[in-house]
Each structure stands twice: as C-alpha cells, then as structure tokens.
Structure 1
Amino acid sequence: MTVTDIPAPNSNVITRGFLAGDSELQALSGRTTDDLNPVTGQVYARFPAADVADVTRVVDAAHAAFDTWAGTAPSERRRILERAADLMVERTEQFAELMRQETAGTRTWAEFNISMSVTLLRQAATMATRPSGTLLSTDVPGQWSMAVKAPAGVVVAFVPWNGPLILCTRAVAVALATGNPVVIRPSEDAPLTSGYFLADVLREAGVPAGAINVITNDRADAPAVVDALISDKRVRRVNFTGSTTVGRIVGSIAGRELKPVMLELGGKNPILVLDDADLDYAANGIALAKFLNAGQICLCVDRVIVHRAVVDEFTAKFVDKVRALDRGNTSDEHTIVGPMINARAAERVAGLVADAVAKGARVLYGGGKPEGAYHPPTVLDGITPDMRIYSEEVFGPVATIHAVDDDEQALALANDTAYGLSSGIYTENSGRGLALARRLEHGSVHVNDQSVADEPEAPVGGVKDSGFGHFGSDWGVEFFTETRWITVADRHTPYPF
C-alpha cells in the first residue's frame, strides 16, 4: 500500500510497514502504534512500533545501499530528483487530503508544503552535478593536489509534523543528491505526511531500494529508538528539526558518538512595528505570520513589538484582521485557522493564556477554553516577564502585543529570549530597518516583511537555543559530504632517506 491509497471516511485505516530496502517490514515484536485524526480522534493510520532490534534492520538496509547509490551517475541522481518533483506536483490533491486527515492542516498550508518542496527537490537535483572537488595549489613539482567531496554515509533525518513535507524534503533531498542513503524517522503525530509520502514519491521516481527508508515508533519508545539510530556506527550524519528540549538530547547523543549534527529548533520570534510602518500592511503580514497553520510553524511570530505612538491604531487594525480570518473545518478550502495537532496541544496553549490572564494580561480577542484540538485565535497585551508566555514558545494561535517607547526598547525586548530563529521589522525606512536588523540576534531578519518568509535559496537555521547548522548557500553539501585530500604525482618524490 502507498500513500496514494487514501481510504474513504469510516473505511479501514491505512496500514504501513517500515520501509527497509525493497520491503515493508513489521516490528519484530509485532507491536503497532496508531496515528489519530486530530479532529475526530479516530485512528487514521497504523504503523509498526520499532524497538532497538528494528533500528538495526533498517540501518542494515540503508548501509547496504550506500555503495550503489553513491556510485550512481550524478546525472542519474539529478534525473531521479527532478522526476520526484514532477510526481509531487501531480499528487497535490492527495497530499492535501492526507494533511487534512493527519494534521488538520488547511489546504493553503498543504499547497504551500507541496510548492516549496517541489522547488527544494528541483534545486537539490542541481547539487548532484555540481563540481565535487577543488584543485589546490602545491609546492611539490609534478603533483596534483585536490580537495574532493565524497558522500558521508547513512544519514538519519528526524522530521516533525508541523511543516511535514517541507521539512522532510529539506532534510532528505540534498543528502540523496550527494549520494547518501537516508533513514527517515517521521513524527509520531504524522508518519504519512512527514515521511512516507516523500519516500513513496522518491521510490517511484527511481531512488533504489535501501537509499530511502522509513522507521516508525510509538511515542513511549522514542528515547530508545532515537539513541539507537544515532549510536549505530554506520550512521554518519544526523539531521533534526523539532523542539529545543528534544534537540538538546539529540545533540548530546551525537556529541557522545562524535557524529556531525544539524539542529533546527524552536523560536520566540519577534516582529517590530516601528512608528513609520504602514500599519495595514503590518497587520496583514503579522496575521499571516501568527495564524498560518494555527501558529504551529517554528518561524511564527510570538511577540508583536509596537512603538507606543502607533500601538492603539495598530492593535485595532490587527484585531479586526484576526476577527475576519476564516476558521473551523479544514475541509473548507478558505479556512485559515483550523484545529491544532491534537487536544493536548490546544490545552497547553490554553494553559499559557490562563496563566497570563491570571497574572494581569488582557484578552483583546479570543481566549476561553479550547474545543478538542481547536483553540480560538487570541490576542493578548499587558504581558510581563513573570508570565510563562513571556519566555515560552507559544506554538499556537496566540499573539502577544508589547508596547515600547523607541527602537532601543524594541531591540532589547526582541533579543530578551533564549531563542534566535526568525524575526521581522515593519518600517518604511529601509536604512533604519537594516540598522536594527544587524543588531537582532536571530538567524533571519526580514525588513518590511513577516517572520515566516522562506526561500529555498536562503540559509535556514537559528542561533542561541534555536539550534546550529544551516542549509546555507551550499544547501548543506558540506554537511552531507566528507572532504578528502588526494594527491597524484607524475614523478617520483625524492625522499630524505
């Protein structure tokens, strides 16, 4: 069965096995784990629940494919990735339905996942045929001295549920382009959209058996499975996108095992609205940056920092914009704010709001108790440092507005966080914006734009507790390859003895 075999409502659930080599395997223990529809709470799909022995089987398959895939002609690897991009376009409708059923993602968000992932695949394809080495200068007569990039080996990609296809593609595409086999460990909340969908597309496009693999686990077994994957000596690179809490664990295991690791973690993203900003434009952009995918994107804005001279006018425009957002059932293509990933996530966000209100915050719009996985779009002000929402990542549809007197106060508040992922500045004076951008402690800063801005060509990554490592201008080629020094002499070297 593939992800294209989507069951009709109330029919049998999707059942998949581990993708290992050319097989779909069940767990040796026979145990399974369920994937629930966030809205209905019903089982949508079922997967094997891996233990350490299953990890070994899947890594066996990836390692066995290494020589074949690394030895595949670069032009063939490029052709396969370009074919995968074509197939992905054809399956937009299928993916949108999968996302709606599995993560309660809106159609807008699903289509963006497809379009961005297609571009990521097409650009990664070009990495397969780029120069793979450099001729170095040397003082040795008759010697050619070269720095050559070679595939590193098995790559493990830990993929989250919130931007499932984008983040899976970003983790996998360049690794494959440069000749590495990959093991995807998708989110327990979305194995289909954060793992199987892409793996099925790549296999159909021609990626050979073992070069792309998927392993799933029950949430309770995650620590042991994660440790086993990273600790396997045949795994040479680790790529993790997710929470800072789990990222610290992944980073510590990788450090113990001396494995290069790339971590893209959480954020407490600010957007500054200066006193010369176009307030209508800012309100529109910040509504997008806060409420797209119900605020469940690592780049979503948390703190809206506004000059006091314009805070009342901005706040009125922003609340009006939020009030007008379409919300509710994700089967409606116009829905902007749908349910969260599950009721547990909605309750966590409601807890942040309740704590803030109890300590003096003011609800300008929304609030109240969630209904299942649905938390209403909410706007707060009067936030103080003793409130949990001041420092914790919201990761939900709640915006906080902070009034400041000047640029320096705005800058200080924006940087007063352990995180440093993304940020924005609304101003009609680009020079003023650039001066502030240079002082913001965030991996990306967008002057006169919102924080969820993303482009395949741009470096992606954070600073401070938002992680380290970037899919930068080389698209991660340095990370996924080993650089080796090779010399070739056309004459004998005179040795000293």
Structure 2
Amino acid sequence: MTQLKNHPLSPVVDLPIIPLHISGSSQPIAPDTNLVPLTPPLSTTPIHHYVSATPDTAKLACDAASSTFPRWKATAPAYRREILLSVVKLLEKRADEICASQTKETGCGEQFSKVNLKGGVEGVKEIAAATAEIRGVVSQKGSVEGDADGKEKAGLTVVVKEAIGVVLVIAPWNGAVILPLRALSQAIAAGCTIVFKASELCPATHGLLVDCFEEAGLPAGVINVIQSRRSDAAAVVEAIVSHRAVRKVDFIGSAAVGRQIGQVCAKYLKPILMELGCKGPAIVLDDADLEKAAKFCALGAVANHGQLCFSTERIIIHKDVYEKFIAILSAIMQRLPPPAVGNAVSKDSATHAFDVLKDAETRGAKFIVGGPEYVSELSLKPTIIEGVTREMRIFDEETFGPSVSVYRVESDEEAVEIANDSKYGLNAAVHSRSWEHAYTIASQLEYGQVHINHMTLMDSPGQPIQGIKGSGWGQSNSIWGINEFLVEKTVMFHSSQGGFPFGP
C-alpha cells in the first residue's frame, strides 16, 4: 500500500498521502478528493494525510472484493496457509518499521508496540495452522421410512464448508497490529475477500500490514483498504454493509459504535462478529499470592494508558487481605514509570478519562492513589479509586484511562455478584493459590475468558476469544475464528431407485 509523496494536491506538499488501496493499487487522487491531515498525539504538526473514502469509493472496494471472491474461494486451504506463513516471515522482517509506525501514529509505548506485534504474529501462525481443520463431513443416512429393520436410506449426504463471501473488517487503533492481523487472517484463511476499513488514527500502520499480505503473494483484490474521517464513517459503513456482495461484518471497537453498526447490519440482515468493551474485573481471593496479584492488576489497569478492551477496570478483594493488598498495589502504582503507562491517543480520550474520575470525585469517591490529575496534556496519573457507587459513571463505564476501582467484599459469593454486576462480559481474572478455589469462582463468572493468576490483558491465540452480554458475540482465534467466515452447505445425493415421497 504505497504512500503517495509530494502529491500536488497535498495541502502540505512534502507530506505523504495514505491513499485508498483497491484491487492491489493505490487509487488516483482527484481534485475533489477528501484529504485529511493526521496529527499524532505526541506531535503538534501533521505527519501525513489520508484519503477519506466516500460511499461511492467504498462501493468500488466492495465491487473489487466481489469480483475477486470466486477465484479466491476456489483456492485450497493449504495454499492459503502457505501465504499466511509467508506473511509471518514478512511481519518479523519488518517488525521495527511496523512498531515505529504504530508508536508514531498512536502514541503508544515502544514496549507495547513490540508486544502487540509479537501477539499478532503468533495469532497469524495459529490461524495458518488451523486451516488444516477446515473440513466437511459425510453424514450418517437416515432409516427407510416404514422399514421394520431400520435399513439405511440409499444415497449419500455430504456437508461441505465454504467461504461466506465478502467481509467488512473494521479494526481499531488501540491494538493497531494484533487485532487487524487476527481479523484479516481469519477471513483470508476461510477463503473470503475483504473490504478493510482501516482506522483513521493509524492508516499508515494498517497499510504496512496489508503490504505484508500482498508481498507474501496474496492476490490483488483479496484485501481492499479504505479509511474515512469520523464524520463520514456512518455513511461509508452503511454503503458497504448494504452492498449485496457483502455477507458479514467483523467489528472490533467500542460498545457505543458496535451498537450503531449492529443496527445497520440488522437493517440489511447481515451477520456481525463483534468484540466490544468491558469493565474487566480481577478477583483477589483470601488465599492469593498478593505480591503477584498486585503486579498483574496494576499492569492490567495502566497498560497503554488503560486504552484496551481487556484492561483491568475493577479489583474485587476479600476483606481478610484487603488492607495488605491495597498497600502493595498502591506502592506499585505510585512507582510506575511514565513509559509503562503511556499516553492517551488524543486530547478527547484523555479528557474522557479525566471527566469520569471527576464525576466519581464529585459524587463522593475517594482516591487512594492519584485522582483526576494530568501528568501532561495526554497523560493522567495512575489512580486507585475506592467507594464507587452505582450512580457514578465509573461504576459501569469504561474509563479508557490508567485507573482502577477497588471493592472490599465479605465473601466469595459477594465477589462473584459484584464481578457479574456489569453489562459487559469479555475478560476477567481470579487470583488464588488454589486452582480448585479459583476454578469454582471462574465457573460462576459471566465472562468469555477468565484468567487464573494472571492479568485480564491476556489472549491465547490457540483458544477461542469471545465476548458475552454487552461485549459482543461470536468467536475469534484459530479454527473458531475461521469458522465465523464459513458456511455449511448440505449436498444430498438421492438414489436413482427412490420413488416420490408423496403424490400419485
């Protein structure tokens, strides 16, 4: 996905332009093209411009994906696997370039970008391996109606798995590498073609990922890339979802936007795979390793400035260890270096996190560490909040900031009750020295993933990941993610000796 440099239509001629990328080529830039400057969080000047798609250009991307689909669908899973494994090699080869781009565009820390890339690479490897599991079945035949001996019917029934069609992938900026790599690889492994709506906050980073796919041998038109400014996004997304060739949507992002896209999908009867937000709880039981639990909880709360759907937003602590745990957690939070916390992706994001804390303060919450305080224009202090009540915004609203609410509970039952008292259900954690104790609690939690003695910021590429309740639906990773983009077709071979089932 080549960046266009020194283009005469660029408002700042010496800045590159991120174009739309359709059928393997950068699209021409017309005089009326919408060019939008991207100023990253740690800069005061633009680093490049991107072309903002219109409904018409979005439809061109759909047409390209549609025309490529029959050929790509016909490829063997083993062929797709080889391409994905080649993508892995290119991602590793271009790791420094990709990480630098993510850090520059989103303001995340260097360490976070490296972890993000590593997780993405492992995910692509696992999806590539899982292509071997794409297989149909030969069904058992039913018995002959009215036959006393229960003889099988003549003929044969085969169930085959086929790619669902063109897929719209919408990936966010906060996991700018791992999340689009997973989404793109799953659909590609299934034999689908894609319209990829890259994030307007990191279009160059997303473009580098697509470069790796195409350099690995992915045919032109399998991935078609657009991006749009937020004011255009609703119209662009509806234009894509309404296109007759588009058969499914994969959206990763906020619950608020997911709800809007879900309504559009319902309007056009298109299924959607969604991974949304969470108010991730970590439960610290009375037999937990407090030092280890505190470290995991602190990192889970502040990583990437708390701007992750897997972030630890709540810590629920048994009364018998509450005071000791809080002392350990407070010491860790107070000595966290700024690079470990990172920055907000924008002033609006930092302001939102500040406002949620300010609302809690106004309504009587207490701050054990930090509070509604800025370290810089884009960074807040790591914060521990006590005394959260239901009328506060922070009770069940994602802060997307480096803060965590703590709750003292009398019993395991109360811990489970508080953890489940949320509209979300993506990730949770339980800390205990007893696996049996931890599993007893985990089995009662209404979350798609529960991590024992680790942080909520975890994802195993060989296991399914899914949200329940308000955190979305559908599964990602490995064969579970591939299956989201496959349909099962029943093919019935009827015996030529059979008669008509009814009629004269």
> TM tier, shorter chain?
over 0.9
* Offset, 1:27: 6.3
Task: Report if aligned partners of 1:27, 1:54 keep a CA contact under 8 Å in 2.
Answer: no
- Alpha-carbon distance between aligned partners in 2 of 1:425 and 1:118, rounded to the nearest angstrom: 28
Unpaired stretches in structure 2, ≥5 consecutive residues? 6-11, 143-151
CA deviations 1:408-443 (Å, max 9, x no partner) are 221111111111111111111222211111111111
Kindly report which structure 2 residues correspond to 1:380-419, keeping only aligned pairs within 5 A, or say none: 380-419=385-424
* Offset, 1:326: 1.9
1:172 aligns with 2:172: no
> Greater shift after overlay, 287-296 or 233-242?
287-296
Task: Report if aligned partners of 2:316, 2:406 keep a CA contact under 8 Å in 1.
Answer: yes
- Alpha-carbon distance between aligned partners in 2 of 1:210 and 1:157, rounded to the nearest angstrom: 14
TM-score by length of 1: 0.93
Aligned to 2:146: none
Bigger radius of gyration among the two: 2
The partner residue of 1:452 within 450, 457, 470 is: 457
Aligned to 2:109: 106
* Offset, 1:41: 3.3
SS at match of 1:112: helix
Q: Which amino acid aligns with 1:22?
A: G
- Alpha-carbon distance between aligned partners in 1 of 2:95 and 2:4, rounded to the nearest angstrom: 11
Task: Report if aligned partners of 1:346, 1:370 keep a CA contact under 8 Å in 2.
Answer: no
> Greater shift after overlay, 155-164 or 12-21?
12-21
Q: Which amino acid aligns with 2:187?
A: A
Aligned to 1:332: none
* Offset, 1:142: 4.5
- Alpha-carbon distance between aligned partners in 1 of 2:88 and 2:291, rounded to the nearest angstrom: 37
Aligned to 1:423: 428
Aligned to 2:60: 57
Kindly report which structure 2 residues correspond to 1:68-467, keeping only aligned pairs within 5 A, or say none: 68-139=71-142, 141-193=153-205, 195-327=206-338, 335-367=339-371, 368-369=373-374, 371-467=376-472
Q: Which amino acid aligns with 2:177?
A: L
> Greater shift after overlay, 12-21 or 484-493?
484-493
Aligned to 1:331: none
C-alpha distance 362-176 of structure 1, shift in aligned 2 (>3 A): same
Aligned alpha-carbon RMSD (Å): 2.0
- Alpha-carbon distance between aligned partners in 1 of 2:29 and 2:56, rounded to the nearest angstrom: 9
> Greater shift after overlay, 13-22 or 347-356?
13-22
CA deviations 1:37-76 (Å, max 9, x no partner) are 1111321221111111111111111111111211223322
Task: Report if aligned partners of 1:78, 1:126 keep a CA contact under 8 Å in 2.
Answer: yes
C-alpha distance 399-12 of structure 1, shift in aligned 2 (>3 A): farther
SS at match of 2:399: coil
- Alpha-carbon distance between aligned partners in 1 of 2:3 and 2:405, rounded to the nearest angstrom: 39
CA deviations 1:376-401 (Å, max 9, x no partner) are 22222222222111121111111111
Task: Report if aligned partners of 2:282, 2:428 keep a CA contact under 8 Å in 1.
Answer: yes
Aligned residues: 485
* Offset, 1:2: 3.6
SS at match of 1:379: strand
* Offset, 1:363: 2.0
- Alpha-carbon distance between aligned partners in 2 of 1:119 and 1:295, rounded to the nearest angstrom: 23
- Alpha-carbon distance between aligned partners in 2 of 1:179 and 1:473, rounded to the nearest angstrom: 14
Unpaired stretches in structure 1, ≥5 consecutive residues? 328-334
Task: Report if aligned partners of 1:127, 1:174 keep a CA contact under 8 Å in 2.
Answer: no
CA deviations 1:303-338 (Å, max 9, x no partner) are 1111222222111111111222221xxxxxxx2111
* Offset, 1:4: 13
Task: Report if aligned partners of 2:448, 2:468 keep a CA contact under 8 Å in 1.
Answer: yes
C-alpha distance 473-47 of structure 1, shift in aligned 2 (>3 A): closer
The partner residue of 2:487 within 457, 479, 482 is: 482
TM-score by length of 2: 0.92
- Alpha-carbon distance between aligned partners in 2 of 1:357 and 1:58, rounded to the nearest angstrom: 48
- Alpha-carbon distance between aligned partners in 2 of 1:226 and 1:457, rounded to the nearest angstrom: 31
SS at match of 2:160: strand
CA deviations 1:245-292 (Å, max 9, x no partner) are 111111111122111111111101111111211110111111121111
